Structure 1
Amino acid sequence: MVLGCVIHGPGDLRIDELPEPEPGPGQAVVAVRYGGICGSDLHYHRHGGVGDFRLREPMLLGHEVVGTVVAYGDGATGPAPGTPVAVHPATPCGACPECLDGRANVCRDTRYLGSAARFPHVQGGFASRIAVPAVQLRTLPEGLEPRRAALAEPLSVALHAVRRAGDLAGRHVLVTGAGPIGCLTVAAARAAGAATITATDLLPRALEFAAAAGATACVRADDPDDPSWPSDEADVAIEASGVAAGLDTCLRRVRRGGVVVQLGMLPPGQTPFAGNLLVAREIDLRGAFRFHAEFDDALRLLAAEPSFDALISAVRPVREAAEAFGQAADRSQSCKVLLDFA
């Protein structure tokens, strides 16, 4: 039996004993070492769903996982058993118009670890051993420790958002929301050559994490007169808070003809926004959803930048998952919290 972190309903998170997985055809079994707690995991825990995706059966959480290869099923090949790997959480169909157009991140029939978007749900990676398609394994670059490699999935999300924004070299980039994704977006913008990076949030501790990630100006989101605001307008604004106020700030602080990327998942239903600014300023509003090829780029960037360790605020054993989820939800203290399945 293996231990797994299973959500049974809102507020009902359990550490269950699960059957030892056997690799099916094309699959690999991975001994998971670390799993990062994502905002979507917190939403499933607190609300029983993420946006329009609602729990209809118990589901193994988690999609930010790293570990070592154990064994392969029939027809599967990949890194040798014992090799440290990260698991790409998406399995796109490869046949829909989006996949054929090179946009597998918006595949209309994808499978994503720990997601209730489909029924039966796609079980996640928060277990001491999991079986996944072997094509999802990525060998860790030399020198990249598994602990830091657990940031690969959220960093991939940030890298995709930055690429959706266009060339950032020498630009002023505004990032609203300094949670884990916002901080990693700051780091991705820095890696893309942004000259000035302004981060906003309501919480002082979150802004400290943003500064560690590379923000050159950190601003209280609830204070429009904060003296930390740079005098010039942003060329690009990336909304990473997932609230309407963050989108409004992006539209009001970006220059005429600038670009706004909506990365944060807004609440379900309709969200009012300052559409007239979009028109009068000829602002480009773009969405950014998940990632695809950026996963390999994220691993390389993590291997090259030890500074990412500053964003990992806690590592808790899986049997303390309830406490870890509470810690991850407390943004006044935490950035990224990992579960340890060793």
Structure 2
Amino acid sequence: MGIFGGSNYDYYNFDGYRLVPEASPAGPKPGHRLLSFLKAPVDDDEEFPDPDPDPDTVPVEPAGLYDPSEIARVISRPIPMWLTGSCTPAAVQRMEAFGQEATFTIPDTTTDWPAVRDKLQEARAWGMPESHPQAFAQLARDALATLAEVRQGHATQRERGDGWCLVARPARPDWPIDLEQAARSAAEAPVDLQAAAAELVGLRQEEAEARHPGTTGEALSDAVRVLGSLLYRQRPEAVFDATVRKVITAGGPVVEQWRQTLTPVEGDELKRLRPTRRFAQLLASDISPTSEAEFGTVAEAQAKVTWVGKDRAGRLTVEFAHDGRDSTEPLLATERPTGQPEGWNDSTVIAADPASNGTVGLTA
């Protein structure tokens, strides 16, 4: 895989593998298995050979590292090189139709631009230019910077080199004219740090209540991020006054006593919370669409929730059934403010059980 906008593909090294021609009577030789991109006939039965064997059963052995030009000389054609994110089933079908030495354009699944553009569009449709102009201005500046970076990548992107050829080139960035006009106008607005700090407080709440997954929530999350980047030097008290996720084990008298101070969240209240980003952020450390598509962490964690509670200030705690790997005790994920929690006072004791991996605060 190549990186978009790169210019040093001629210096890439490729892991070479050699097919093991015949399996021994005891079975295939141990070693690597060449997966889906290679198929070769292997006669498990000499009388009835399998015409299309499972690629995972084809035995191979390492043959060392090779430059693209070395491999191209052996196979008599350039090596097809894919940009990260471009090798989709649709693109592979087009490669088969165009031929392995043709470079063609596909919808952009490689750069950050489509996601940035779509989230800016969603922020505009949500009404952010009117309700949170400082946040929208920062999103617009961020989008314009991404646009310039992607355009520069297209200018430097090579399609041919010594022993390799680019298969699929992402489409050049585009966006609706009205969105571009709105972005460029907003980006020219003067920065108001006091207004930005006030907007950050409201946007955090709006993001927490947004649905997960969803483009609106992702747009609000980006707005929180860019406002934080704007303010973290001049107004750090606004940026770092946020709620974070803390995971601890649930065994021991200290945690049990602390749990008795929590109120169960059930019924309609829990039903309303479950589809929100706030709840998802308690379930997993990374709730991005990319992570969820690849690992499904939030969906998996949802199925393990056994109990939900809240403290007197409304901060949530979720209990998960233990997985039997790291601990025999259930796990708790709890909302913690980065500053002093509301409701804590001089009588509050920070304590932990000997076997626990985290502390709790007990207030008389």
Structure 1 and Structure 2 fold alike (TM over 0.5): no
The two structures have a TM-score, normalised by structure 2, of 0.22
**Higher helix share goes to which structure?**
2
The two structures have a TM-score, normalised by structure 1, of 0.23
**Higher strand share goes to which structure?**
1
Larger RCO, structure (CA 8 Å, separation 6 or more): 1
